[in-house]
Amino acid sequence: MSKTRDLRDPALYINRELSQIEFNFRVLAQAQDPATPLLERVRFLCICSSNIDEFFEIRVAALKFGGATIGPDGLSTQETLQRVRARALELLEEQYRLWNRTLRPALAAEGIQVLLRDEWNAKQRRWLQGYFQNEILPVLSPLGLDPAHPFPRILNKSLNLVVLLKGKDAFGREGNMALVRAPRSLPRVIRLPPELSDGSQDFVLLSGVLQEFVEELFPGMQVKGSYQFRVTRNSELSLDEDETENLAHAMKEELQERGFARAVRLEVADALPKATLKILMANFAVAEDDIYRCQGPVNLNRVVAIHDMIDRPDLKFPKFTPRVEARINNVPTVFDAIRGGDVLLHHPFDSFATVLEFVRQAATDPGVLAIKQTLYRAGKDSPLVGYLIEAARAGKDVTVVIELRARFDEEANLSLADRLQEAGVQVVYGVVGFKTHAKMMLVVRREANGLRRYVHLSTGNYHASTARTYTDLGLLTCDSEIGEDVHKLFQQLSGLGPVIKLKRVLQSPFTLHKALLAKIEREIEHARQGRPAAIRAKINHLNEGGVIRLLYEASQAGVQIDLIVRGTCALRPGIAGISDRIQVRSLVGRFLEHSRVYWFQNGDDPEIFCSSADWLERNLIRRVETCFPILDAELARRAYDEEIENYLADNQQAWALDAEGRYLRIQPGEAMPHSAQQSLLARLCGG
């Protein structure tokens, strides 16, 4: 193939939405893998289901309602929607086949039964009928549909029944159709008492209980049929920030309506009659291509409750204790440890407790004058938030930049902002038009030699729960130049100043994209001059056209490029004469791969950076992000070994992307089996 081929040719790019669906096939593969512990297989199935929910709420909704632009692959919106539906139907079929034919029987073989209605014995049915009458029926509000009772508003992703009726009610009204909405206060999975289970642990789904006893909601009438359905709605907020005077107030108002936005998908029981389906379609204003028939519960992701309700360590991943470095434990304070040298934290293998302790000590240390922090996602009842409040009440200057538009955490962040402000914390809502996705913290401390800045920078959120399930890198440092950079970044976020010049930290939307392109161009020049040239990066997503085109040029120039891209990837590797020196792999395992690490050979002077930004257009151009170097040579080597070499050697949970856009699972062959995540557990946690 000619090297002069136009690098903007759409054939050189993979569609973003289709790539995102392919990622979920890889997630589902974890649920299909017999080597994965059984209850973890159930969890992966539910993660896949939940991921697809969000995919429809955001990406498909954008395609349908005009929020998406044509990507470098050149596919029209309509063509993308058609291909998305075809692949989504295949994924749906595999999900339910796996649940019905494999996982549910496998659970039963382990004494964990998820019973269907026709599997209940007489005693179980009597107990469930009593449970329905005492715990469920009092909170239900069935609605018969007639001219006085039009079709109600149905909440996004809620469980509902459409009930077909025959006969007359107490007022002599002819029954035809009714709706039963399941309040979210009701548990979706119900455990039967041990005395009814003959030694096993038996569960039933709320949907089955509702269907079995729904006739009790309509006394004197005959139930001809009852069928589950669930509607998925557009969940992207359409707030016009430029026209909004009070962002928090406007956000609260819009969130109240998000659950009832335009429908994008309708999931229905497979047996739902066509005539009834047409009524639902008309009321939700959806087309035939928006209908997905389910061979089981329409809210399959709710089955994850079983994983949490069952205490069977033999059917779950082994527990582990995150490491706390001896250097942290062997000094009086975290500040002493940082002054002794930078600290690199690799979560979840290194304990997030170190970060929490850093904030706790900063809140109580009389020498600390100020704490500044970004919060994108913090989690419910985060101890970190309590420490910030404690610091403010102790008279320290505390500033928190909260991103109100963190998707699906908007309400939590609004509540968090109110709580912090009530305690005297200065809360900043970021920058209009640019989500603040950067993860950084600055502590200003008075010491014998004057003021010193202590900094924490990270690839992940300040969220204690996800820090146990996401892989991320964090850096604790008191390097003066990095400290000065982070101080300027906080000034920029809280004030209205001009573009600033930073010494060490790269920043979106100003310098990161340009610097990334410049570093790729530098590798191209090294290769042309016969010097060592290579690029290795671990990121979550890649779609930015300028970066991809330059990577193609780098491959043509002789630069070896190894990319570890967990999720969506628009680049096509392995095209002769274009990208034959580019390899792309994806790894899906026990922990969600979330860290972003960029490494450049740079002749004989390698550089390594960690970042909050993926190589997406939104991250590089339309968000506030940080990218920071690992300056300590030993820590730089550790970051490279653990996050690059280790993952490139994985032959247990890694997938290779080919030029056709297909992912093929990498097999050990004659090589020794190597799992990157398990290797880190063994190396850092001893398990």
Token pair recorded at residue 484? 């000065």
* Alpha carbons 373 and 189: distance in angstroms, whole number: 39
- In three-state secondary structure terms, 252 is helix
Token pair recorded at residue 174? 């002819």
Token pair recorded at residue 481? 């130049």
CATH 3.30.870.10 domain locations along the chain = 326-501, 507-685
Give tens-digit pLDDT for 527-578. Answer: 999 999 999 999 999 999 999 999 999 999 999 999 999 999 999 999 999 9
Mind spelling out the 3-state secondary structure of 61-98?
HHHHHCCCCCCCCCCCHHHHHHHHHHHHHHHHHHHHHH
For the domain 11-315, what is the CATH code?
3.30.1840.10
Closest to 25 (Cα-Cα) out of 665, 667, 675, 668: 665
Closest to 91 (Cα-Cα) out of 60, 49, 56: 49
Q: What percent of the chain has pLDDT over 90?
A: 83
Token pair recorded at residue 16? 């973003």
- pLDDT of 163: 96
* Alpha carbons 296 and 294: distance in angstroms, whole number: 5
What is the strand order of the sheet 143-144 is part of? 143-144, 177-181, 160-166, 222-233, 263-269, 291-294
Q: How confident is the model at residue 211 (pLDDT cuts 50, 70, 90)?
A: very high
Assess whether pLDDT exceeds 50 at residue 1: no
243's CB contacts (< 8 A; 6+ apart) are none
- pLDDT of 259: 77
Give tens-digit pLDDT for 391-418. Answer: 999 999 999 999 887 777 788 888 888 8
Assess whether pLDDT exceeds 80 at residue 244: no
Q: What percent of the chain has pLDDT over 70?
A: 95
337's CB contacts (< 8 A; 6+ apart) are 327, 328, 331, 343, 476
**How many residues can be counted in the chain?**
687
For residue 173, give the DSSP letter.
P
Query: In 121-219, which residue ranges form alpha helices assigned H by DSSP?
Result: 122-131, 206-213
The two counts, helices (H) then strands (E), for the chain are: 22, 27
- In three-state secondary structure terms, 522 is helix
206's CB contacts (< 8 A; 6+ apart) are 136, 159, 182, 186, 187, 188, 189, 190
Q: Crossing angle, helix 545-557 and helix 512-528, to 10 degrees?
A: 10
Assess whether pLDDT exceeds 80 at residue 442: yes
C-beta atoms surrounding 28 within 10 Å:
23
CB 350 within 8 A of CB 323: yes
* Alpha carbons 269 and 96: distance in angstroms, whole number: 12
Fold for 326-501, please state it.
Endonuclease; Chain A (3.30.870)
- In three-state secondary structure terms, 339 is helix
Q: How confident is the model at residue 337 (pLDDT cuts 50, 70, 90)?
A: very high
> Is 437 considered catalytic here?
yes
User: Hey, what amino acid is at 418?
Assistant: D
- pLDDT of 151: 84
Distance from the first to the final alpha carbon of the chain: 49
590's CB contacts (< 8 A; 6+ apart) are 40, 317, 677
* Alpha carbons 180 and 154: distance in angstroms, whole number: 10
Half-sphere exposure of 274 (CA within 13 A, CB side): 1
* Alpha carbons 103 and 31: distance in angstroms, whole number: 9
Assess whether pLDDT exceeds 50 at residue 629: yes
Class of 507-685 per CATH? Answer: alpha beta
Active-site residue among 437, 463, 513, 594?
437
Token pair recorded at residue 432? 């209009």
CATH 3.30.1840.10 domain locations along the chain = 11-315
Residue given tokens 């038996």 in the structure block = 202
Least confident of 63-77, 271-285, 317-331, 353-367: 63-77
As a whole number of Å, the CA-based R_g of the chain is: 27
Q: Is the pTM of this model over 0.75?
A: yes
